[in-house]
């Protein structure tokens, strides 16, 4: 068996596996966007915009999550800060994309509903994860 000079920690390997499995849901979202763009789903312009934003944030943050897991292993952070560096970015991917989709839910909606709070929770999670990871890398 091939042995690498660099191996992921168990925590990063577990989270990377979970994150990679979420790509299927992003693919499903892409097929839904095709239905929206082709006019098969009657959405307002606001709902179309939030659907695109939710899908884009999911994809970009999943990629950032995978990169962050490798970088987190380079920090030497463990315990609470290690889990924050590893898990807050994938959590942000879920919360931010989910927040966009939940905030636009409802027939004919032209502005966000109260579920927009989920989007802001995701932004806070992204900030916590990236700040912890960045500071951890600078201090390593």
Residue range 4-22, pLDDT digits in tens: 556 899 999 999 999 999 9
Residue 39 has pLDDT above 90, yes or no: no
Task: Return the pLDDT at 7.
Answer: 84
Which of 58, 6, 50 lies closest to 28, judged by CA? Answer: 58
Any idea which residue has 């924050």 for tokens? 84
Which of 101, 97, 92, 99 lies closest to 116, judged by CA? Answer: 99
7 φ/ψ angles, rounded to the nearest 5 degrees: -125, 145
The DSSP code for 104 is: T
Task: Return the pLDDT at 12.
Answer: 96
Task: Return the pLDDT at 3.
Answer: 57
Question: Residue 64 and residue 93: Cα distance in Å, rounded?
Answer: 9
| Domain range list for the chain | 10-139
pLDDT digits (tens, 9 = 90+) for 60-118: 999 999 999 999 999 989 999 999 999 999 999 999 999 999 999 999 999 999 999 99
- How far is CA 20 from each of CA 14, 27, 41, 58, 138, rounded to the nearest angstrom? 10, 12, 28, 12, 27
The DSSP code for 50 is: H
């Amino acid at each position: 068996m091939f042995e690498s000079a660099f191996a992921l920690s168990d925590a990063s390997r577990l989270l990377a596996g979970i994150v990679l499995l979420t790509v299927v849901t992003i693919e499903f979202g892409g097929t839904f966007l095709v239905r929206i763009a082709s006019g098969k789903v009657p959405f307002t312009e606001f709902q179309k915009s939030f659907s695109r934003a939710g899908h884009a944030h999911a994809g970009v943050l999943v990629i950032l999550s995978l990169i962050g897991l490798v970088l987190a292993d380079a920090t030497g952070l463990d315990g609470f800060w290690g889990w924050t560096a590893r898990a807050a970015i994938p959590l942000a991917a879920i919360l931010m994309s989910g927040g966009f989709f939940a905030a636009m839910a409802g027939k004919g909606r032209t502005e966000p509903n109260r579920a927009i709070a989920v989007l802001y929770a995701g932004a806070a999670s992204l900030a916590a994860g990236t700040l912890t990871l960045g500071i951890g890398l600078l201090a390593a």
